[in-house]
Structure 1
Amino acid sequence: MSEYQYYEFQAIDRPLTKDELEQVRALSSRARISATHFVNEYHYGNFRGDERKLVEQLYDAHLYFANWGSRRLMLRLPTTLLPARSAEPYCVEDALTCWTRNGHLLLDFAYSAEDGGEWDFETPFTLASFTTLRTELAAGDLRPLYLAWLSALTRWELKEDVDEDEYTSTIEPPVPAGLAQLTGPQQALADFLHIDPHLLTAAARASGAAPSQAIDKDALAAWIRALPQHEKDALLLDAALGAAPQPGPALLARHRAASHGQAEPSTATRRRSAAELLDAAHEVRSEHTRQQEQAHAQARRAKQLTRERHLDHLAENAEQAWQDIANLIGQKQPGPYDTAVTLLKDLREVHDRADTPEEFARRLHDLREQHRAKSSLMRRFTDADLTTL
């Protein structure tokens, strides 16, 4: 079975220097490398670098996946935008870890398929699907972190050696607003981490409405004018030199915090245990199954009603149908032959409903006798069980 691994790194806040580029190029001779990007695919062998160190030192985002099910997403952002204390409540083994290095918070989202799982040969993700998560986190939107915790719970439920008391004693982290209205990158993360959608629906019941992303430009302009001149000069100088992260996300986060308060997870609702969430997910799943079965039953009834109306109409115009069959056969072409066979099968059902199967058998016999030299037609009759035996 062929192995496949994908590695992608991206520098967002500043491009790599010439020396840093040389350092990265020494890790691979086949990778696509630029001052802001590194992409390589492996069908054999492994990446020689240390992904963790590369993100700590050079890159702001990293994506990895292998076709045997392992997945990893790493994001780096300044602790001034997201302090470690905000992320730590969501960290859970094998799903999300965080640590700080040189004034940055690093987030490591991970997923590993259970042994014996099917290999994935069609993973469509690229790092571009996830980089906006950094901006969302910088603005105080903690939904990506809660999603990682849900991913861990999704996998935890499947394990067979977990004590039931553990489910009861494990309490969810603070619930962010907007879980029922994920952004595009957040939905991509939920898919990437294989979160049970029913569990997500259950979790979202304790989540408030998504925070508004609308920006009042006049209010923002007034707030920026009020910033100390020396601070604005320093921001512009750092932006021009690429010596610090782009100031936009940080300024927006500060503006929102000053205007409305930093976006905080919901505290109005009692935090639930893992057992409560899993029970709620079971209820959601059962209701979803019931609705699906109901929808399928309605679709079957509608299809049957359509079928009955078709047969009623055919019964009222049976002689015209027999004439249509003769005309179709007279065209001596595969398509009309197939249409004639379908019409004959419908007529057989019409005669069965009218309790006149003998009449259908007689007319079919005459039809076969009349056209028995047409081998293609006769083969179609036989395949459709339109015989007189």
Structure 2
Amino acid sequence: MSEYQYYEFVAVDRPLTAAQQRELRALSTRARITSSSFVNDYQWGDLKGDPREWMQRYFDAFLYLANWGTHRIALRLPAAVLDPGTAAEYCVGESACSWATRSHVIVDLHSEDEDGDEEYEGGGHLAAILPARAELAAGDRRLLYLAWLLCVQGRELDDDEPEPPVPAGLGDLSGPQAALVDFLRLDPDLLAVAAETSKPLKDATPSVASLSRWVKALPESEKDDLVLRLLRGDDAHLRSELLARFQGAAPNEGPGGRRTVGELLAAAGERWLRRQQLAREREAAERERRERAAAAARERHLNALAGRQEQEWQRVATMIETKRPKEYDVAVALLSDLKALAERDGETEAFLRRVRQLRELHARKPSLLDRLDRARLG
């Protein structure tokens, strides 16, 4: 297998300046660089830069894929909309880590598969996942919980480690979150078990009345400042910042800390076993259905053949006289049907006598006799 690596970086909140684009071009002559992105793939060599540093300096999202099984995605958000401590509460291992700069928080997620990727084109993955960043910025903590589950799946935590607060809606992920789950190859059984204590997302949607009460409680000076920021239009995350603050004041998470890592893994294993058993039962039921259908079709075929045995024996004789292999095959198939009909109707001896006569008549046709032997005729 040839080597393949795919790198994609995206700037969301602010476009790259001309100077920044020149800096990136100096590191890669063949990358596709625009004011909002850097995309390159490698079948030899590697990126001449550190993705971690690039995320701190230039970009808000990063996706990496290699055909030996490595998947990686990183998202950068302003610290005003994602508290570094909140990110650190969920990103607790090698598969999911986070770190903070003076102005931002970066969440970095990894997935490894030793079997590698059969299909490893990287284009399109980041576009499908990127809207999850806006959801996280607006206070939706499901992405962070998925990051924690990734560490659980990687066996990076002690069995007695309690789970963090469980956000609402784990059982009904958004499209971008589902794309992230697929890209990171998160165990569906583990996710399903984790979602059992997650309350429905609609129950966590803030009402107009609760938003109104929260807004009225804000100091007038702060409201003035927020309106001014809105009018200046220089804060891309103002709405997300306010929603995140509201969520912090009225958390929508379900009860946390009730289950441990070991309990989740055990429950996921039991769910996998139940799924396998159900799959085997469904397969057996489907096999039985197909067998019954085949038997019924066979019976209908034999019923249609009954009463026409002499005509069919004559057809067999005619086809054999052609001395063509394909006609031999059709003749043998017809004889097999006549045999089945004879066995059903208790006329096996009569059938065998006619087959012996047939074999004696065509004893100098080895190709035909070979076919008869393989069909157990005579």
> Given that residues 6 and 41 in structure 2 are in contact (C-alpha distance below 8 angstroms), is that contact kept between their aligned partners in structure 1?
yes
Q: CA deviation at 1:237?
A: 2.7
Counterparts of 2:372 and 2:176, CA distance in 1: 52
Distance 2:364 2:32 in 1: 66
Shift of 1:107: 0.4
Offset of residue 86 of structure 1: 1.6
Aligned residue for 1:156, secondary structure, equals coil
C-alpha separation between the residues in 1 aligned to 2:339 and 2:306?
Answer: 13
Q: Distance in 2 between matches of 1:78 and 1:35?
A: 20
Q: Point out where structure 1 has 5 or more consecutive residues left out of the alignment.
A: none
Alpha-carbon separation, structure 1, partners of 2:70 and 2:147: 15
Report the Cα distance in structure 2 between the residues aligned to 1:384 and 1:8, rounded to whole angstroms.
64
* Larger Rg over CA atoms: 2
TM value normalised by structure 1: 0.78
Deviation digits for residues 54-87 of structure 1 (CA, Å, limit 9, x no counterpart): 1111111000011111221000111111111221
- The corresponding residue for 1:302 is 289
Q: Measured at CA, do residues 176 and 35 of structure 1 come closer, stay the same or move farther in structure 2, by a change above 3 Å?
A: same
Indicate conservation of the 8 Å contact 2:328/2:368, yes or no.
Answer: no
* Structure 1 contact 140–263 (Cα < 8 Å) conserved: no
Structure 2 residue 264 is the aligned partner of structure 1 residue 264 = no
Distance 2:208 2:328 in 1: 69
Matching residue of 2:76: 76
Question: Equivalent residue for 1:88?
Answer: 88
Deviation at 1:34, TM superposition (A): 0.9
How many residues align structurally? 366
Q: CA RMSD in A?
A: 4.3
1:235 counterpart letter in structure 2: L
Of 237, 252, 256 in structure 1, the residue corresponding to residue 232 of structure 2 is: 237
Letter in 1 for 2:252: E
- How do 1:107-126 residues align onto structure 2 when only pairs under 5 Å count? 107-113=107-113, 117-123=114-120, 126=125
1:13 counterpart letter in structure 2: D
Residue number in structure 2 paired with 1:386: 375
- Partner amino acid for 2:260? S
* CA pair 98-334 structure 1, distance change in 2 beyond 3 A: farther
1:186 is matched with 177
Report the equivalent of 1:171: 162
Could you report, residue by residue, the CA deviation over 1:326-369 in whole angstroms, capped at 9, with x for unpaired residues? 59979x99999988876665555454444544555567788999
Deviations 1:112-137 (A, max 9, x none): 33xxx222131355211210110111
Distance 1:17 1:301, change over 3 A: same
CA contact (8 A) 1:141 1:263 kept: no
AA aligned opposite 1:142: R
Using structure 2 for the length normalisation, give the TM-score: 0.80
Q: Aligned AA for 2:227? A: K
Distance, in Å, in 2 between the alignment partners of 1:85 and 1:27 is 34
Q: Deviations over 1:130-176 (max 9, x none)?
A: 1011011112221112112222222218xxxx9xxx42x22222212
Question: Relative to 1, partners in 2 of residues 1:253 and 1:172: Cα closer, same or farther, differing over 3 Å?
Answer: closer
Q: Is it true that 1:150 corresponds to 2:149 in the alignment?
A: yes
Q: 1:286 to 1:26 in 2, by over 3 A?
A: same
